[in-house]
Structure formats: structure tokens, C-alpha cells
A and B are shown apart, each in its own frame.
Chain A
Amino acid sequence: MTLQHFFAMGGYAAYVWPAYAVFFIVLVVDTLAPRLRRRRVLRELRARIARQSARQARNAPSSTTPLA
């Protein structure tokens, strides 16, 4: 069987290959989407931790002096 014969798919190439393309594209998107989301979740979390520690550092000296 030649490669050309293989790609021709007995005249059904226009149906077989798009079907396989859809299969792979959908699954690749399904794999990549959570990867991007994970990166975003961790980035946001790090930003929040940084904000919190900055606030704590700011408040630390004033908290040593009693308010009343």
C-alpha cells in the first residue's frame, strides 16, 4: 500500500481525515485549557499572598502601640 493510497482513504478522505482532526483538536483543547487555568489560579494566589504579607508588614509597627 502506498502512502498516497493511504491518504486517499478509498475516496473518503474528505470525511475520514476531518473526523480524526476534530477528535485531536477537541482533545488537545481539553488538555490545554486546565493547564492554563492552573497557571492562572496559582498566579492569583501568589498575588494574594504578596498583598497579605505587605499589609501585615505595614500594620506590624502600629499594632505594637495600643490604640486606647
Chain B
Amino acid sequence: MANWIPLWLHRLSSPPTFYRFAGTLRPWAMALALLAGAIALYGGLVLAPADYQQGDAYRIIFIHVPSAWMSMFIYGVMGVSAFIALVWRIKLAEVVAMESAPIGAAFTLITLVTGSLWGKPMWGTWWTWDARLTSELVLLFLYLGVIGLYHAFEDRRQGARAAAFLAIIGIVNVPIVHFSVTWWNTLHQGSTISIFGHSKMSGAMLWPLLLMMLATKFYYIASLFRRVRTDLLALESGKDWVRQIAERESTP
């Protein structure tokens, strides 16, 4: 193991340690997600005023945009852990990469469906083959490809390595999704929120959006930890620590 990786990180990547760590943090992440999500929904659906052009239809933004951000963010996490898994062969990185894929696919699906439901009243069409929509659809197919490849192998770790390779190649699509509205002339509107510049949105609409973004981040942590814990149990089923958990939970 390289020296620059701190010792605690090395310890944390041991499956029984991470299992306990994730088990402690997961309920808190879920509670924060539900709390932030509830406040953001109230702010977005009730407190925020209607848009002067789009009326109340714009309220889809409060789930559409955070989901779209998550679809790209989760792909980034998956790509980085896939890279770590391939280079250093760390089992935990493999599991994080493979278990991120279904969550990312879920958020991508939400993005596409809510975008479609928003596009119909605003653009007059459910779907159009423009750059933003097409690249987001490609993102969904990449997630599904990673999931499919992972399950196509008899040996799970061999499947994880093949799928990790696909995940790394597919990462080129993430900047394409992000910049598609600037690079091509599309029907999809440009970015409203800018990290470094001035956001073109009023405060009453902005805070529910940012809070929902926070809620989806916490949700991702909670969902990922639950999935990783289950996967670690399955992968390490021959080990003593897993047997102890199985026996402890047999008499609830």
C-alpha cells in the first residue's frame, strides 16, 4: 500500500470495520436526507412563488435538477472508485463502485422522466433527440451496462473488474452531459445555478433547490451504505465476522 494513503483510511477499507462504520452513519444520513428533503419540498411547493413564464410547472425543477446533479455526481464517484479498484485491488472500492451504479441509474431515470413531464407542457414534446437529453440517456445506458456486466460473470470480483473498466471509459460522457447546453444549440435551457458566478434565480426558489441537492446527497450516502453493507456480507460470507452477524440476527 502506498505510503501517502493515511493509516486510518487503510483501516477503514477493511470490510468488518467499514461494515460497522457504515452501520453507525447510515441512520443519521437517512434522517438528514428526510429532514432536508421535507423542508425543501415545503419551500419549493408551497413557499416559492410561481414562475412568471412557466407558472407552477417550473416546480418540477426542485426534483429534476438535484436528480440530474446526482446522476453525474454518482457517476464521478463510481468512476473514481472503479479506478481505485482496478489499480489497487481494494475490495471496498470495488463494492462502492458496483453499488453506486443502481443508485445512479435510479437518479438518471428520475431525471429523464421528470424532464419529460416538464418538457411536454413547456416545449410541447415529451422527448427530443437534442444533445442534453441524448447524453443523459447515454448516461442511463452506461449505468445499466455497468450493472449488466457486473452480473454477467460467474465470479463476482471478475465481473466487478470488467464493469469497473466500462465505468472508467464511460466517464467521458459526464462532461458531455454537463457542457451539452453550451456546446450545442439545444432546446434544453442553460445552467441556472453557477458555483463560481452569479446564479440567475431568486432566493425564494434557490434555497429549496440547494437544500434538495443536499438531501439527495445524504440519501445517496444512506442508500450506498446500506447496499455496501449487504454486499460485504455476501462477499465475505465465509469469514467469521459475517457468521457472527448471521447468528446474532437469526433470533430477532
Contacts and interface: CB of A to CB of B under 8 A. Distances in A.
What are the 4 tightest A-B residue pairs by CB atom distance, in nearest-first order? A10-B56, A12-B57, A19-B114, A38-B230
Contacts of B67: 23
Given A19-B114, A22-B113, A30 B246 contact: no
Interface of A: 1, 6, 9-12, 15-16, 18-20, 22-23, 26-27, 29-31, 33-35, 37-38, 41-42, 45-46, 48-49
B109 A12 contact: no
A49 B243 contact: yes
Given A26-B106, A49-B246, A41 B57 contact: no
Contacts of B176: none
B223 A37 contact: no
Contacts, number: 90
B56 A22 contact: no
B50 interface: yes
B246 A9 contact: no
A42 B50 CA distance: 50
B109 A11 contact: no
Contact of B121 (A12, A37, A46, A49): A12
B178 interface: no
A16 B45 CA distance: 10
Given A11-B56, A26-B110, A45-B243, A19 B63 contact: yes
Contact of B233 (A11, A22, A33, A41): A41
Interface residues of B, number: 38
Contacts of A1: 46
Interface of B: 45-46, 50, 55-57, 59-60, 63-64, 67, 102-103, 106, 109-110, 113-114, 117-118, 120-121, 219, 223, 226-227, 229-230, 233-234, 237, 242-243, 245-247, 249-250
B233 A42 contact: yes
Nearest to B246: A45
A48 to B, nearest CB: 8
Nearest to A52: B243
Nearest to B112: A22
B247 A19 contact: no
B102 A30 contact: yes
Contacts of A19: 60, 63-64, 113-114, 117-118
B110 A10 contact: no
Q: Which residue, of B45, B118, B234, has the highest number of chain A Cβ atoms within 10 A?
A: B234
A8 B113 CA distance: 21
A23 B110 contact: yes
A45 B117 contact: no
B226 A42 contact: no
Nearest to B250: A46
B211 to A, nearest CB: 15
